[in-house]
Amino acid sequence: MPNLEFLTEKRFTLSTHLIQVAVSNNLSLAEFLLLVYFEDAVDKTFNVDTISKTLNINEKEILIAFNRLLSLNFIELEACKDKTNKCCEIVSLEPMYRKLFEKTEKQKELAKKETIFDLFQKELGRSISPMEYEIINAWLEKGFSEELVLGALKEAVYNGVSSLRYIDKILYEWQKKGYHTMTEVESGLINRRKDNEKVPQLFDYNWLEDEG
């Protein structure tokens, strides 16, 4: 049984991020305690005997836990020199910190990023109904990109129509023409009117009446 008294005796800190790492990666108790040990230990050399005595875990468990943390890329060994100028290796938790930082940054970006449903509500100036939510979701499941769906939304709003049925017709027409991006939509428009002196802008064109 691991000796948990070392947490108090050596004033180790049970950081919230370490608990999150342990839970999200199903770490064993030995693996978790090793992370705690190396986060706050003054001497970060991998001394199995010292760690075994401190944690009251047998050396075999420590080696298994250590190797798994290495394989998960939570820790790494860094070459250094001790006080006597002798080469040695210390354990660094830098890989784990990088993972946590990247995860935190992604979460921040996702929190800032508006969803397609938020953008629909903003463009339409009202909340969307559960049925409308399902319709939008169905478009995405059918393979329409968010870019194309939002492009159709903007066309509808430009034409003063807030009906998702109207947007559905636009998407259907674009699908028939093989358009997958708004760049392809705009290119298709230019190609169809390239002989005209004035090339209409995207919103000046009625795709629903196009028979070409």
Three state DSSP letters for 39-77:
HHCCCCECCHHHHHHHHCCCHHHHHHHHHHHHHCCCCEE
| CA dist., res. 185 & res. 178, Å (int) | 9
Q: Residue for token digits 């947007």?
A: 167
The pLDDT value recorded for residue 206 is 59
Q: Give the torsion through C-alpha atoms of 122, 127, 128, 130, to 10 deg.
A: 150
Tally the domains of the chain: 2
The pLDDT value recorded for residue 202 is 54
When pLDDT is cut at 50, 70 and 90, the band that residue 11 belongs to is very low
Structure tokens at 61: 């468990």
Both 127 and 53 in one domain: the answer is no
174 HSE (CA, 13 A, CB side): 31
Structure tokens at 144: 């329409």
Residue 109: inside a domain: no
Both 127 and 205 in one domain: the answer is yes
| CA dist., res. 178 & res. 184, Å (int) | 9
Residue 108: inside a domain: no
Write down the pTM of the prediction. 0.49
Amino acid 114 reads: E
Q: Where does a domain end: 103, 134, 169? A: 103
The pLDDT value recorded for residue 210 is 57
Q: Are 105 and 113 in contact (CB under 8 A)?
A: no
Both 186 and 99 in one domain: the answer is no
What kind and span of H or E run contains 90?
Answer: strand 87-92
Both 77 and 21 in one domain: the answer is yes
- Give the CATH number, domain containing residue 156: 1.10.10.630
Both 162 and 86 in one domain: the answer is no
The pLDDT value recorded for residue 87 is 83
The pLDDT value recorded for residue 192 is 65
The pLDDT value recorded for residue 103 is 82
Q: Where does a domain end: 82, 103, 124? A: 103
| CA dist., res. 111 & res. 109, Å (int) | 5
Q: Where does a domain end: 49, 78, 103? A: 103
Residue 32: inside a domain: yes
Residue 111: inside a domain: no
When pLDDT is cut at 50, 70 and 90, the band that residue 73 belongs to is very high
| CA dist., res. 207 & res. 212, Å (int) | 10
Residue 203: inside a domain: yes
Both 131 and 69 in one domain: the answer is no
Residue 2, pLDDT > 50, answer yes
- Give the CATH number, domain containing residue 73: 1.10.10.10
- pLDDT tens-digit readout, 90-118: 899 999 988 888 888 877 776 666 789 99
| CA dist., res. 148 & res. 139, Å (int) | 10
- pLDDT tens-digit readout, 116-166: 999 999 999 999 999 999 999 999 999 999 999 999 999 899 888 888 999
Both 20 and 87 in one domain: the answer is yes
Both 31 and 84 in one domain: the answer is yes
| CA dist., res. 46 & res. 63, Å (int) | 10
Both 75 and 157 in one domain: the answer is no
